[in-house]
Amino acid sequence: DVKVTQSSRYLVKRTGEKVFLECVQDMDHENMFWYRQDPGLGLRLIYFSYDVKMKEKGDIPEGYSVSREKKERFSLILESASTNQTSMYLCASSPGGLGAYEQYFGPGTRLTVT
Amino acid sequence: AQSVTQLGSHVSVSEGALVLLRCNYSSSVPPYLFWYVQYPNQGLQLLLKYTTGATLVKGINGFEAEFKKSETSFHLTKPSAHMSDAAEYFCAVSGPGGFKTIFGAGTRLFVKA
């Protein structure tokens, strides 16, 4: 079974702090994704990566950056956390190529910024 | 451009009743369509997907969905609801490669005893 793990289930940070959310997948997937999930808005893509050191902006990249130094690990960074970044953050991975591959999700990190 | 609309943010059914969750999509290319389920405090997991071929797709836990190109729909059904089906359901659309999968806003299913 594909396993996607996220470093924390719950996180509380203060405004202005730098926040790191880590995601690790164990199935050698090329693609990795970071989403935020808010009630009534579904999942919105923040960033994705299709290869080591490669990244592409999603629909809402402002205030976020990412890092992918190893194939299995994809980190989301909030450079200076703000209260409007309080949300559920979901990491996902999928195989590369042109097939109709589903995404495999981690359990999520619920981030509260106070 | 692709988009997904899920009709109804909340759906309530009685145990044993038919479950019908509606999803309409728009896509400028032949779509790949997915239904995911999210149980409380968990990530999303795949229920079923449509790529090409047979338009009636069967998934896990007795769910199925039918791709209707003429109606641009991909509604999710289950003949008989179970209490364990209570969860949030997301319809999603993507194109080749799976990049930029677009998710609907989600429908929360409640099952009454």
Give yes or no for residue A99 having a pLDDT over 70: no
User: Is A16 an interface residue toward B (CB < 8 Å)?
Assistant: no
Contacts of B54 (CB under 8 A, 6+ apart): none
CA distance B1 to chain A (A): 13
B-chain CB neighbours of A108 within 8 Å are 41-43
Amino acid at residue number A31:
N
At residue B10, what are phi and psi to the nearest 5 degrees?
-135, 135
CA distance B77 to chain A (A): 20
The pLDDT of residue B97 is 58
User: Can you tell me the distance from the alpha carbon of A46 to that of A35, in angstroms, rounded to the nearest whole number?
Assistant: 5
Beta bridge partners of B91: B35
Residues of chain B in Cβ contact (below 8 Å) with chain A = 9, 32, 34, 36, 41-46, 49, 51, 90, 94, 96-101, 103-106
DSSP string, B54-106: -SEEE-GGG-EEEEETTTTEEEEEESS--GGG-EEEEEEEE-GGGTTPEEP--
The model's pLDDT over B29-82, given as tens digits with 9 standing for 90+, comes to 788 999 999 998 889 999 999 988 889 999 999 999 999 999 999 999 999 999
The model's pLDDT over A23-50, given as tens digits with 9 standing for 90+, comes to 999 999 999 999 999 988 889 999 999 8
The model's pLDDT over A55-84, given as tens digits with 9 standing for 90+, comes to 999 999 999 999 999 999 999 999 999 999
Interface test with B, best of A101, A104, A110 (most B CBs within 10 A): A101
Contact by Cβ (8 Å): A32, A23: yes
The torsion region of residue A19 among left (phi > 0), alpha (psi -120 to 50) and beta comes to beta
Contacts of B9 (CB under 8 A, 6+ apart): A40, B105, B106, B107, B108
